[in-house]
Amino acid sequence: MGLFNRKKVGEPKPSVADMLSSFMNDDSEGNHGKEAMLDYQLSYLLRMANTYESGSELAKRVLMKMIGKTPKIDSYGWIENLRLKSVKVWKQWQRIDLIAEVEANCGSGMKRHAIIVENKAYTGIHDDQLSRYAEIIEDYYKDKDVQKHYWVITFFDSDTENYKTIETKCREAKGPWKCTSFKDLIDLTKEERHEGTYNEIIDEFWIKRWS
């Protein structure tokens, strides 16, 4: 077996981003739990930002994007303008897919943020759910000094009609909802695309390609 799998001399190493992920690539059609998988993966990614483990720099950049901050990267690839005190995540509170509470200093003092996420794998917005969730969140945080960030994350690519429909629903709903695609949420460096982050969970779900 080793003989047939042996790498040829001079053969270039394949890019991690070009490898096929085994996540969610069975023969099922439709959603079939994909949104629940995204809940767990995003929860893990955000919590990884508050560590020094492999993949934490990618996680930090995602977290900063979700709280509307731009990372400053030093010559070693480390983020200079982020200090995290805590990252806590809840799934399915009041039927909201994901809520992350973050205490972060991005250069102007420690501030509290709430990231509210509705995941839409291959489905659309229904029953005015975004406005209802925004009302719940606004009521819960009404007496708290917290900056709120509303996101819809979808597997639809940003140039598709399904994505544009969700984007329109976000603009029409109460609360400043923003829409982003699964691909656009992750801003990979050249090194991450080729080498990965050396975190197998992050690489498998966020970097390797899906069929």
Of 32-41, 132-141, 153-162, 177-186, minimum mean pLDDT range:
32-41
Q: Which residue has the tokens 């969140």?
A: 137
Rounded to the nearest integer, the mean pLDDT of the chain is 90
- Domain ranges (residues) in the chain: 15-24+31-69+77-207
pLDDT score of 127 more than 50: yes
Average pLDDT (67-88) is 93
Which structure tokens are listed for 52? 């020094």
pLDDT tens-place string over residues 85-115: 999 999 999 999 999 999 999 999 999 999 9
pLDDT at 31: 61
pLDDT tens-place string over residues 19-41: 988 876 666 666 667 788 889 99
Instruction: Please state the pTM of the whole predicted model.
Output: 0.89
Count Cα atoms within 13 angstroms, Cβ side, for 180.
Answer: 15
In the chain, what percentage of residues exceed pLDDT 70? Answer: 90
pLDDT score of 63 more than 60: yes
75: left (phi over 0), alpha (psi -120 to 50) or beta: alpha
